C-alpha cells in the first residue's frame, strides 16, 4: 500500500539526516554556480531584499517584497538555548508540496508570495479575506523565539516575527458553535512539484481546537530572523504551535476555517497510527518506529533531552487535563 512508501521525514532520524545534509550541500553549491551564470536581469529579480548579498543564496526572496516593520522581541518566551544558525533554518526544511527531502529551499523560492490573501471563514461573525500586509499593519507584529521539535527527533530554535493567532481570530469573531480551527496550505501546481505526487491527500490540512487556538503560544509568523518569512519556511504566512510536533505547524496558509468538525489532517489521513490530531511533544511516548527521548539540534548536532510539551507545559498543560482518554502524544 502507498503508506509504506518511504517518506523523507518518516525515516528514523539517524538515517534521514546524513542524506539530507549531503543534499543541502549539493544544493548550495549548485545555487552558487547558478547565481554566477544567471543573466543580470534574472539575478536582480531574485536577489534578496534587505541583505543583497549574492554570497547568501539561501536568503533570496523577490526583491519587491516589503520589509517588515520593526518588531520587538517578547522576552516572556525564553528558549533556554542558542538560536539555530539562520543558514540551517532556511535550507533544512520539511515542505512536501515542494518535494519530500529536506533540500527543497530553492524550489520553494519560486513560489510567488505577493499578492497573498488569507480567507478566514466558517463559523465566524465576520468572514473575510485579508491581505497579508494588511494584517501585519492592522494587528502589529512582535518577535518570539520558540523551540521547534520535529517528530523526526531534530529540533531548531527559531526567531519568528508575527502575531498571535487569537488576534487574527478576534477580527472575524468566532461563533460559540466553532470548536476547531482548520488551516489549509495554498496549492499552486505551477510551482509545487510535490502536488504531482497524487498519493498524498493535498491540500496540506492541519487543525487544532478553539481552546488551543486561543492559547497565547499559538502564533502566526510572517517573518524569520527579522526578515520576511521565506517560502521554504512557510512564507508569507504560517502557523506554529511550539508545544506540538512540527508537522502541526502548517505552512503558507491561504485559508482558515472555523468549524464544529475535528479536522482530519494531512499526516493523520496518511498514517493515523503514527500521526494523530493532538501530537503534543512527549519524550516518554516513542514514535512507533523510534524514540522521542532526545532531539538533535540542527546546526550544532548536539543531542539534548526532549521535554514534555517541548518545555511549554506551564502555558498549555491545562488545555489537556480533561482529555485523558484522548491520544494526546502522537
Ligand atoms: N504545508 C506544509 N506545512 C508543513 C510541512 C509540509 O510538508 N507542508 N511540514 C511540516 C513539518 S513535518 C515540520 S517539522 C515543519 C518544518 O518547518 P521549517 O521547515 O520551517 O523548519 O513544517 C511543517 N509544516
Ligand atoms: Mo516535522
Q: How far from chain centre, in Å, is Cα 40? A: 33
Q: What is the CATH number of the domain that holds 143?
A: 3.90.420.10
Question: What single string gives the DSSP state of each residue in 201-251?
Answer: -SSPEEEEEHHHHHSTT-EEEEEETTEEPPGGGTTT---B-TTB-GGGS--
Number of domains in the chain: 1
- Residue 10, domain member (yes or no): no
Assigned C-alpha cell, 72: 520587538
pTM: 0.85
pLDDT tens series, the chain, 330 aa:
344 444 444 444 444 332 232 223 333 333 333 333 333 333 322 333 334 344 565 566 766 678 899 999 999 999 999 999 998 999 999 999 999 999 999 999 999 999 999 999 999 999 999 999 999 999 999 999 999 999 999 999 999 999 999 999 999 999 999 999 999 999 999 999 999 999 999 999 999 999 999 999 999 999 999 989 999 999 999 999 999 999 999 999 999 999 999 999 999 999 999 999 999 999 999 999 999 999 999 999 899 999 999 999 999 999 999 998 999 998
Atom 19 of ligand 1: nearest residue by CA position: 93
Domain that holds residue 39: 25-313
pLDDT, tens digit, 9 for 90 and up, residues 198-222 = 999 999 999 999 999 999 999 999 9
Give the SS3 label for residue 287. strand
In a domain, 325, yes or no: no
In a domain, 242, yes or no: yes
In a domain, 37, yes or no: yes
Do the domain assignments include residue 321?
no
User: What spacing in Å lies between the alpha carbon of 95 and ligand 2's midpoint?
Assistant: 9
296: in domain: yes
Tell me if 132 sits within 8 A of 141, measured CB to CB.
no
Q: Residue of the nearest CA to atom 20 in ligand 1? A: 233
Tell me, yes or no, whether 151 lies in a domain.
Answer: yes
Environment class of residue 96 by beta-carbon count within 10 Å: exposed (0-12), middle (13-18) or buried (19+)? buried
Considering every ligand atom shown, identify the ligand nearest to the alpha carbon of residue 298 and give its number.
1
* 12 domain-assigned: no
Lining ligand 1 with CB less than 6 A are 9, 93-97, 148, 150, 156, 185, 204, 233-234, 246-247, 249-251
Task: State whether residue 17 is helix, strand or coil.
Answer: helix
Amino acid at each position: 500500500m502507498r503508506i509504506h512508501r518511504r517518506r523523507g521525514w518518516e525515516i528514523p532520524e539517524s538515517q534521514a539526516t546524513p542524506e539530507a545534509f549531503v543534499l543541502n550541500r549539493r544544493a548550495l553549491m549548485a545555487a552558487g554556480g547558478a547565481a554566477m551564470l544567471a543573466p543580470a536581469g534574472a539575478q536582480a529579480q531574485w536577489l534578496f531584499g534587505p541583505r543583497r548579498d549574492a554570497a547568501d543564496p539561501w536568503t533570496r526572496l523577490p526583491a519587491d517584497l516589503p520589509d517588515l516593520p520593526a518588531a520587538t522581541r517578547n522576552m516572556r518566551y525564553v528558549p533556554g538555548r542558542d538560536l539555530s544558525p539562520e543558514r540551517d533554518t532556511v535550507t533544512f526544511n520539511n515542505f512536501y508540496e515542494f518535494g519530500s527531502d529536506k533540500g527543497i529551499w530553492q524550489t520553494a523560492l519560486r513560489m510567488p508570495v505577493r499578492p497573498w490573501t488569507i480567507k478566514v471563514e466558517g463559523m465566524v461573525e465576520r468572514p473575510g479575506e485579508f491581505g497579508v500586509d494588511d494584517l501585519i499593519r492592522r494587528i502589529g507584529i512582535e518577535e518570539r523565539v520558540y523551540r521547534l521539535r520535529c517528530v523526526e527527533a531534530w529540533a531548531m530554535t527559531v526567531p519568528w516575527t508575527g502575531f498571535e493567532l487569537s488576534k487574527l481570530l478576534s477580527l472575524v469573531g468566532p461563533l460559540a458553535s466553532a470548536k476547531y480551527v482548520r488551516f489549509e496550505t495554498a496549492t499552486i501546481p505551477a510551482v509545487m512539484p510535490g502536488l504531482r505526487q497524487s498519493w498524498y491527500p493535498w491540500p496540506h490540512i492541519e487543525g487544532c481546537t478553539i481552546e488551543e487556538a486561543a492559547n497565547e503560544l499559538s502564533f502566526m509568523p510572517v517573518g524569520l530572523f527579522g526578515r520576511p518569512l521565506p517560502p521554504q519556511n512557510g512564507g508569507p504566512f504560517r502557523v506554529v504551535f511550539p508545544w506540538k510536533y512540527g508537522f502541526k505547524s502548517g505552512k503558507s496558509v491561504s485559508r482558515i476555517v472555523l468549524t464544529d468538525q475535528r479536522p482530519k489532517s494531512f499526516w493523520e489521513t496518511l498514517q493515523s497510527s503514527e500521526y494523530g490530531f493532538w501530537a503534543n511533544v512527549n519524550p516518554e511516548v516513542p514514535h512507533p518506529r523510534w524514540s522521542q527521548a532526545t532531539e538533535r539540534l540542527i546546526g550544532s548536532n548536539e543531542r539534548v533531552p526532549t521535554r514534555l510539551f517541548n518545555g511549554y507545559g506551564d502555558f498549555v498543560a491545562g488545555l489537556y487535563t480533561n482529555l485523558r482518554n484522548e491520544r494526546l502524544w502522537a
